[in-house]
Amino acid sequence: MKVSPKQITNAADVNAKKEVKADDSVNFNLPPSNNNNISLSNIKTQISNVNNNSDNNNDNNNHVSKEPVNIVKVYNLHKTYLLGIEGVPALRGVSLNIQQGHFVMLLGKSGSGKTSLLNLIGTIDQPTRGDLEICGVKIKRGMTDACTADLRLNHLGFVFQTFNLIGTMTALENVLLPTLLKNGKTTPEAKAKALELLRRVGMSERAKHYPSQLSGGEQQRITIARALVNTPSILLLDEPTGDLDTKNTENIMRLLLALNLEGVTMIMVTHDPNLKSYAHRCIHMMDGRIYNDESISSEIRERAIKELGGFGFKQNNDGTTTTIVIEQQEQEQGMGGDDNLQSMAMNKTELRQPKDFYSILSD
């Protein structure tokens, strides 16, 4: 039987279309290249394809229940650091998927590998071997710094334990810094968004203050506002409450939970097992491996959120429960207000004469 060239072309087109579609992930069939470096234009093309495919699926499948989207995919990830001539393994074959909109905590002792895993997900470091996909982009060793920086700037937000605020910049300027790196200049829209984020985290009155004039809890809230200014897909948090007291820890957790309820995906490293009840999942790590992947039940999570305060719960017709933010995080906005002034006045230093201590010294 004779086959016309047109039939061959049509068959090739059909096969090409089948290769593009995937069940749970997106496989980018990029043209082969002899160059190992991944260009920035390819990264943007991949992200654009993910967004377009997502929009098409939403338009065509509105009547079908949405399947969870894995925004982070990790498979057999290894990381080994060289110490002289010896290799020190930090991660040993870690595999996990993280769904979009989930709050995931990485729990473990120091040296368990949780911060190393967070740095790999944040593209701050590169894996020794294994597969890693962030926001539909496959991370490879050949990627240039410009490519990973573009991914971080547009899709990832970072909150560090030590805040990493620029000491010579005000709170507002620190929040605006990512927009300056992204756009090359500060626009009125970016400034308005930064001020709105400061208002939301309860720091609008501290916009012109420098980091040295802020408490630890206030600096952490500035850090969160800075991480959100470019509207990231994933928020990465490395011990955000590690240096805070109990009250500030609760305030930060209220803020993070409110953001997660809006759909922000969060991956948080912590030593504190008491915080795991606020998450959807808790990944327990030890010796560079995952030894327990714990799913937090909705009942436990709701109870923990109720005890934290600041949230309400609405019962839906289908039996599910919706969590609602009922108050904004402005509890510490009045730091240094009348109550603090009164307490300072009560604890005012008394001026004494040397003779007042003679009786004590004679004993």
pLDDT digits (tens, 9 = 90+) for 111-126: 899 999 999 999 999 8
Sheet holding 70-83, edge to edge: 86-99, 70-83, 129-134, 137-139
Mean pLDDT of all residues in 195-218: 92
Residue 281 has pLDDT above 70, yes or no: yes
Per-residue buried b or exposed e for 22-59, using 16+ beta carbons within 10 Å of the residue's own CB: eeeebeeeeeeeeeeebebebbeebbeebeeeeeeeee
What are the residue ranges of helices labelled H in the chain?
5-20, 40-60, 114-121, 145-155, 171-183, 188-200, 216-228, 246-261, 298-308, 338-346, 358-362
| Cα-Cα end-to-end distance for the chain | 118
Residue type, 105: M
Q: Are 53 and 108 in contact (CB under 8 A)?
A: no
Q: What is the pLDDT of residue 321?
A: 55
> Residue 287, class by beta-carbon neighbours within 10 Å (0-12 exposed, 13-18 middle, 19+ buried)?
middle
Q: What's the pLDDT tens digit per position in 30-89? A: 344 444 444 455 545 554 554 454 454 444 444 444 677 899 999 999 999 988 888 899
Q: What is the dihedral of CA 191, 195, 198, 204, to 10 degrees?
A: 140
Report d(CA 194, CA 176) in Å as an integer.
6
Report d(CA 323, CA 315) in Å as an integer.
9
Q: What is the pLDDT of residue 338?
A: 41
Report d(CA 46, CA 159) in Å as an integer.
26
Per-residue buried b or exposed e for 303-333, using 16+ beta carbons within 10 Å of the residue's own CB: ebbeeeebbeeeeeeeeeeebebeeebebbb
Q: What is the pLDDT of residue 353?
A: 61
Q: Are 99 and 70 in contact (CB under 8 A)?
A: yes
Q: DSSP string of 158-222? A: EE-TT----TTS-HHHHHHHHHHHHHSS--HHHHHHHHHHHHHTT-GGGTT--GGGS-HHHHHHH
3 state DSSP class of 260: helix
Q: How confident is the model at residue 341 (pLDDT cuts 50, 70, 90)?
A: very low
Is the model more confident about 343 or about 41?
A: 41
Q: Domain 101-124+145-343: which CATH class?
A: alpha beta
Q: What is the dihedral of CA 257, 153, 216, 112, to 10 degrees?
A: 80
Q: How confident is the model at residue 177 (pLDDT cuts 50, 70, 90)?
A: very high
CA–CA distances in Å: residue 330 to residues 199, 201, 251, 303: 8, 7, 9, 23
Residue type, 180: L
Two tokens, residue 257: 């939970």
Q: What is the pLDDT of residue 214?
A: 93
Q: How confident is the model at residue 199 (pLDDT cuts 50, 70, 90)?
A: very high
Helix (H), strand (E) at residue 93: strand 86-99
Q: What is the pLDDT of residue 13?
A: 46
- What percentage of residues in the chain have a pLDDT greater than 90? 47
CB atoms within 10 A of CB 4: 8
Average pLDDT, the chain: 77
Residue 343 has pLDDT above 60, yes or no: no
Q: What is the pLDDT of residue 84?
A: 83
Is the model more confident about 318 or about 84?
A: 84
Residue 20 has pLDDT above 50, yes or no: no
Report d(CA 102, CA 68) in Å as an integer.
10
Two tokens, residue 244: 């805070």
Mean pLDDT of all residues in 300-328: 70
Residue 296 has pLDDT above 60, yes or no: yes
Q: How confident is the model at residue 145 (pLDDT cuts 50, 70, 90)?
A: confident
Q: Where are the domains of the chain?
A: 101-124+145-343
